[in-house]
Amino acid sequence: MEILQKCSGVLLGLLLLQGCAQKSTWYRGNTHAHTVICGHADSSPQLVTQWYHDHGYNFLILSEHNHFINPDSVKMPVSLRDNFILIPGEEISGPKIIHSTAMNIEKLVLPDKGLEIKSHIIQNHVDITREAGGRSILNHPNYRYAVSQGDILPVNGLNMFELYNGHPLVANNGDGEHISTEALWDSLLTRGMPVFGVSSDDAHYFATIDSAHSNPGRGWVMVNASELTGDAIAQAMYHGSFYASNGVMLDYCSIKNGKYRVRVNVAQTMDELTSTELKGRLVEATEPGFTIEYIGHKGEVLFTTNNSRADFLISGVSHYVRPRISYFRDHPSGGSEAFFAWGQPEFTDGRKLQE
């Protein structure tokens, strides 16, 4: 796998210190999974950990509702790989169905349940997560359409949200009245918010695998980090050094010499797509194969190719550009099923992350 350090503007401060050639590795992880502790899932923390370990993941967050699972309390797999860790976390579950993954926290954090304004609830999650040494991901905005653009824009210090959540009750694609999470993403980016898209499982059921259950293996992130520690992974994600996937795997997805470069790992993607846990998006009949698009301001598609690799010159792009890589295959319904990898936006307008 080709390894490249993402040299984006938001990383500039780090890179000045570290140099752009620092070695880094892609790590596969899931930031969102539940256990019997929440009362509506079917497996113990140990079994959930075992599933991700045995399926080749490098990290997992056991993200229980308002409950902190200390990784030291979890019995790890017998033949534990040395490239697998649990990152401490929790799913902060506040009023108005607003949930956030508190990633890499040091202790239990509890939301202020007296708040009523949605942007204040999200801000509370961001703030208490940061106070506990962690980073916040706003979860499933389209679960019962609880969170909209107007709720997110006023929040300070939030720069990750769940673009894809594998729970069958989460309407990632929207409906006739609500926009998709991807359209929401472009809307936030277009209004100047530096925000990155995460893909997660939100898994609850490990013993029953079917499309009606929230199963593992449907959404994950590939993080380009300097080492496999909670701090390094959280820091890399916070700065956008990752891509999100629900089926498509990449060799690289990074900036080099003024170009945003993407190359699909075709063999690995084909292997992933044999998984019965995956759920594609049903779309109208489309020629089978890969499509790489570069998407910019207001969600405009700036470039499209049906090749499995593409380089896109960033100079001249206004505000931001992000790659989306799709794979289409025939579906028994007569239409097609689409799977994706979503690269993170590169900002060309100087917008800054809050440190």
Q: Output the smallest distance, CB 98 to Zn ion, in A.
A: 9
For residues 92 and 189, which CB has a smaller minimum distance to Zn ion in the complex?
92
245 - beta bridge partners?
Answer: 220, 341
Q: Output the smallest distance, CB 114 to Zn ion, in A.
A: 20
For residues 40 and 352, which CB has a smaller minimum distance to Zn ion in the complex?
40
Neighbours of 166 (CB within 10 A): 26
Q: Output the smallest distance, CB 243 to Zn ion, in A.
A: 22
For 352, half-sphere exposure in the C-beta direction (CA atoms, 13 angstrom radius) is: 4
Q: Output the smallest distance, CB 250 to Zn ion, in A.
A: 26
Listed ranges 54-62, 98-106, 229-237, 340-348: which one lies at the site for Zn ion (CB under 5 A) = 98-106
90 binds Zn ion (CB under 5 A): no
Distance CA 171, CA 146 (A): 11
Element holding 122 (H helix, E strand): helix 118-131
Neighbours of 341 (CB within 10 A): 26
For residues 128 and 310, which CB has a smaller minimum distance to Zn ion in the complex?
128
Residue nearest Zn ion, CB atom distance: 99
Distance between alpha carbon 296 and the CA centroid of its chain, in Å?
A: 19
Q: What separation in angstroms does the CA of 355 have from each of 10, 240, 260, 288? A: 10, 13, 24, 43
For residues 200 and 254, which CB has a smaller minimum distance to Zn ion in the complex?
200
Q: What DSSP designation does 269 have?
A: H
φ, ψ (nearest 5 deg) of residue 119 = -65, -30
- Mask of contacts with Zn ion, 198-217, x by CB under 5 A? ----x---------------
Site for Zn ion in 115-144 (CB under 5 A): 139
Strand ranges (E), 160-241: 160-165, 196-200, 220-225
For residues 31 and 269, which CB has a smaller minimum distance to Zn ion in the complex?
31
Give me the sign of the Cα torsion angle 204, 279, 101, 31: positive
Instruction: Give the count of residues interacting with Zn ion (CB under 5 A).
Output: 4
Place of tokens 């050094």: 241
**Given 53, 99, 120, 324, the residue binding Zn ion (CB under 5 A):** 99
Coil, helix or strand at residue 17: helix
Distance CA 136, CA 113 (A): 18
Q: Output the smallest distance, CB 169 to Zn ion, in A.
A: 10
For residues 16 and 212, which CB has a smaller minimum distance to Zn ion in the complex?
212
Q: What separation in angstroms does the CA of 332 have from each of 33, 270, 284, 345? A: 30, 18, 12, 34
For residues 99 and 322, which CB has a smaller minimum distance to Zn ion in the complex?
99
Q: Position 277: which residue type?
A: E
For residues 202 and 272, which CB has a smaller minimum distance to Zn ion in the complex?
202
Q: Output the smallest distance, CB 43 to Zn ion, in A.
A: 14
Q: Output the smallest distance, CB 170 to Zn ion, in A.
A: 9
Q: Output the smallest distance, CB 86 to Zn ion, in A.
A: 16
Residue numbers at the binding site for Zn ion (CB under 5 A): 91, 99, 139, 202
